Amino acid sequence: MQSRRLKYAMIGGAKGSFIGPVHRMAIRLDDLADLEAACFSRNMDDNLSAARNCGVAEDRVYSDWLSLIEGEKSRIDFIAVCTPNDSHYAITKAALEAGLDVMCEKPLSMTLEEAAELKAIANERGRVLAIPFTYSGFPMVKLARDLVKKGEIGEICKIVLEYQQGSFRKIDFTKPLDKRNTWKMDPKKSGASCVVADIGVHGFHLIEYVTGLKVQSLLADLSSFAPGNKLDDDASILMRLAKEEGGEITAKASMVVSKVATGEENGVRLRVYGDKASLFWNQESPNYLSVKYPFEAERIYKRNAPYVKEISDAATRSSRIPAGHHEGFIEGFANIYSEFCAAVRAKRVDFSEEARQFDYPGAEEGERTMRFVEAALKSNSSSNSFISL
């Protein structure tokens, strides 16, 4: 007998939202769950309009998220939180305490203390809590991680991560900003950081995900170059890493993240240097992973090529279409949802204990990325000194 389908509700994600439709597309790509209820917006007209577009019945559209959680906690399996940063903690906490699983947009919270509390609640109640750090869902990133695990590049000594955007150079700050840009530069909604909390967390997670190392301390230099911007829009960060928390420093990393890199689009570029070889992955050419050796020809691994399966089941499993066709952002997002929904099914539907570990960023990663954000802010305000995570 076929087991029942998962059901979910969405909070946020009305017309004008970038990330709400991405969540819906990612879930629908693998037909993972049905959107049953929503509070898309505080504006009821926008709320109902989005519901009609998404096929949500009017009697399951709520004017506020508290009412949604109360009314739907026994009818759905999980909630997708697609709101600005300032509401992540309150919504996620209420949903977890109501017995629901949660996919919450990054960053998990406004503060480290809040993130630690959410992690504790999820662990104590046995709930699934995930954060969509999208780039760890790309097949060639998973291949890079598995090549590192297999010792292909040897002992890692240096990592270089760029996340370069020119989005704030496309804005005329003398004119009213659209809602998306307004809240990201508002400390009351975005928190104490813009670029570090918005895209820096992606870079931090990518470094730890691929290398398996843990950042122990960092030195950050944050800047606000865009006119009128009250928060950081550019950051240069040095990091010291170890094989385990509290361990001996074995590697160092440099990260540059920016929203004022004129002409850049979404330049996520990762380089990992070991004593045997190095890795290079570029998000804008996501189907390829380069491995360079000192005395051998460079190897270019291609997504979904036959030889990839021999190295990484995860990379093969997360590829959907034949090699040579482009897979990217939505597919990477969907890969995270695929693992998240598998974990939700195991707890709610199949009641199974699968042998493999589910490959999605969870509560631990949510807390660690907030440790990263707070350490970067503290370093910047402490004469750019090294701060422990």
Specify whether 59 is located in the same domain as 142: no
DSSP H or E run through 92: helix 88-97
Contact 277, 293 (CB under 8 A): yes
pLDDT (tens digit per residue) in 10-45: 999 998 889 999 999 999 999 999 999 999 999 999
> Is 223 a member of any domain?
yes
CA distance 215 to 200: 14
> Is 304 a member of any domain?
yes
CA distance 82 to 85: 9
Q: How many CB atoms lie within 10 A of CB 197?
A: 26
Whole-prediction pTM:
0.95
Q: How many CB atoms lie within 10 A of CB 157?
A: 13
> Is 297 a member of any domain?
yes
How many percent of the chain have pLDDT more than 70? 96
Question: Cα 40 vs. chain centroid, distance in angstroms?
Answer: 21
Mean pLDDT of the chain: 94
> Is 199 a member of any domain?
yes
Read off the CATH number of the domain in which 286 is found. 3.30.360.10
Question: Cα 245 vs. chain centroid, distance in angstroms?
Answer: 22
Q: Is 73's pLDDT higher than 90?
A: yes
> For 185-194, 217-226, 239-248, which range has the lowest pLDDT when averaged over its residues?
185-194
Specify whether 179 is located in the same domain as 31: no
pLDDT (tens digit per residue) in 43-67: 999 999 999 999 999 999 999 999 9
Specify whether 218 is located in the same domain as 265: yes
Specify whether 49 is located in the same domain as 121: yes
Specify whether 166 is located in the same domain as 277: yes
Specify whether 14 is located in the same domain as 160: no
Specify whether 239 is located in the same domain as 259: yes
Tokens at 303, concatenated: 């997504």
User: Quick one: pLDDT at residue 354?
Assistant: 60
> Is 328 a member of any domain?
no
Specify whether 58 is located in the same domain as 150: no
> Is 333 a member of any domain?
no
CA distance 11 to 69: 10
Read off the CATH number of the domain in which 74 is found. 3.40.50.720
How many domains, in total, are found in the chain? 2
Specify whether 274 is located in the same domain as 372: yes
User: Quick one: pLDDT at residue 20?
Assistant: 95
Expressed as residue numbers, the domain containing 83 is: 6-134+341-362
User: Quick one: pLDDT at residue 166?
Assistant: 93
Q: Is 236's pLDDT higher than 90?
A: yes
Residue of higher predicted confidence among 273 and 4: 273
Of 127, 19, 124, nearest to 78 by C-alpha is 127
> Is 335 a member of any domain?
no
Q: Is 350's pLDDT higher than 50?
A: yes
* Span 255-274, average pLDDT: 97
> Is 167 a member of any domain?
yes
Confidence of residue 176 (pLDDT cuts 50, 70, 90): low
pLDDT (tens digit per residue) in 221-233: 999 998 878 899 9
Confidence of residue 1 (pLDDT cuts 50, 70, 90): very low
Specify whether 162 is located in the same domain as 268: yes
Specify whether 235 is located in the same domain as 299: yes
CA distance 266 to 165: 5
Specify whether 186 is located in the same domain as 288: yes
